[in-house]
Amino acid sequence: MFLISLLDNTSETLLFGLFGIIIILFLVVDLGLLNKKAHKISTKSALYQSIFWVAISVGFGYLIYAYGDGADASLTFFTAYLTEYALSVDNIFVILLILKYFAVKDIYYHNILFWGILGALIFRAIFIFLGAFLISKFYWILYIFGVFLVYSGIKIFFEDGEEEIDPSKNPLLKMARKYLSITKGDYGGRFVLRRNGKLLFTPLFLVIILIETTDLIFAVDSIPAAFAITQNEFLIYTSNIFAILGLRAKFFLLAGIIEKFYLLQKGLSFILIFIGAKMLLEIVHIEIDITLSFMIIIFTLAASIIMSLIVPQKSKEEETSETTLEK
């Protein structure tokens, strides 16, 4: 269905072709030319890469405005992009935990995240186009998405934010350890090797499995949120993937300071509730303008970040001390 509608829209066809070229160039240049050898990504390099991907995304949004379906389509792209970009912050927390759990050397972070993002490109395409097909047949699924987003937002709001996540409990990880031959060393950052005719998998292969499954879990929130913003598969997929492509650079940029933005989780929960409610209001024929939606999301993210910096989070020792004094 998506391909048929895409072929019917010449401008979207050309833009989607350009999008494909950008992705292929990224894969070739990034892994084939710039990062042949494992190395640690500096904060300065991560900053440049983050700016680059944001600039590329903004440029693509402008092309949608100039050569696509105009201002509304462009603003819808940016709203979906910004939502996914914000929600992907939670991915950073979990990815960092996984890397620490396996004691992965930081020189291998780049390669691992590269293949993790490559998997995300494929799996998210499947999720989005399958979702679009189901919605075209059963439109009421969108209202289920709305309820789910409101529920997820409320649940995230009341979470502590310091929940212990144990990667060893992942069922796919247990299965891999049971049926695959896992080595103890990383063998220079390799994922798979052959020894004496036997196929062996390194712990880094397990890391990739966990990162991929983690992305799928987070996609359960972010993709319904995108469908609540628009049902245009082209806008959903391109905005989603541009946000994911910027995730790796954002990881290296924020990994050491992300805990300072402790109120961001509350902001993300509000965004999920808002987007879910926006979808549910359509049942009673109330539509929230895309410009207003974009401004609300921007304001929520900015307020969450600013308030996190203005009002620093209390340490556990300070909270314990205050509780003791109250008693």
Distance CA 38, CA 174 (A): 28
Report the pLDDT value the prediction gives residue 4, as an integer from 0 to 100: 47
Query: Does 78 score more than 90 pLDDT?
Result: yes
Distance CA 64, CA 20 (A): 15
Query: Does 7 score more than 50 pLDDT?
Result: no
Secondary structure of residue 3 in the 3-state scheme: helix
Above pLDDT 70, what percent of the chain? Answer: 86
Mean pLDDT estimate for the chain: 81
Residue 96 has a CB neighbour count (10 Å cut-off) of 17
Nearest CA to 186 out of 199, 173, 174, 200 is that of 200
Distance CA 203, CA 184 (A): 7
pLDDT in tens, 104-115: 888 888 888 888
CA separation, residue 190 to residues 78, 112, 208, 248, 292 (Å) = 37, 10, 11, 19, 48
CB 123 within 8 A of CB 216: yes
The predicted model gives 143-169 an average pLDDT of 77
Report the pLDDT value the prediction gives residue 75, as an integer from 0 to 100: 92
Report the pLDDT value the prediction gives residue 177, as an integer from 0 to 100: 82
Contacts of 288 (CB under 8 A, 6+ apart): 278, 281
| 296 backbone dihedrals φ, ψ, rounded to 5° | -65, -45
CA separation, residue 253 to residues 44, 46, 136, 209 (Å) = 8, 5, 39, 23
pLDDT in tens, 15-52: 888 888 888 888 777 655 666 666 677 778 888 888 88
Query: Does 86 score more than 90 pLDDT?
Result: no
Query: Does 9 score more than 80 pLDDT?
Result: no
The predicted model gives 158-176 an average pLDDT of 70
Instruction: Return the bridge partners of 192, or none.
Output: 201
pLDDT in tens, 249-266: 888 877 767 777 778 888
CB 269 within 8 A of CB 149: no
pTM for the model: 0.81
Locate 250 and state its tokens: 């954002």
Top mean-pLDDT range of 37-46, 64-73, 78-87, 261-270 = 78-87
Residue 128 has a CB neighbour count (10 Å cut-off) of 21
Secondary structure of residue 192 in the 3-state scheme: strand
Distance CA 306, CA 84 (A): 20
Question: How many residues does the structure list for the chain?
Answer: 327
Report the pLDDT value the prediction gives residue 253, as an integer from 0 to 100: 79
Query: Does 57 score more than 60 pLDDT?
Result: yes
Distance CA 15, CA 7 (A): 11
Query: Does 318 score more than 60 pLDDT?
Result: no
Helical segments of the chain, H only? 2-8, 10-27, 43-67, 71-87, 89-101, 109-137, 141-157, 171-179, 203-229, 233-245, 247-254, 264-281, 290-310, 316-326
Top mean-pLDDT range of 90-104, 177-191, 260-274 = 260-274
Question: CA geometry: angle at 104 spanning 103 and 108, to 5°?
Answer: 170
Contacts of 298 (CB under 8 A, 6+ apart): 82
Distance CA 94, CA 129 (A): 26
Report the pLDDT value the prediction gives residue 314, as an integer from 0 to 100: 65
* Largest separation between any pair of C-alpha atoms in the chain: 70
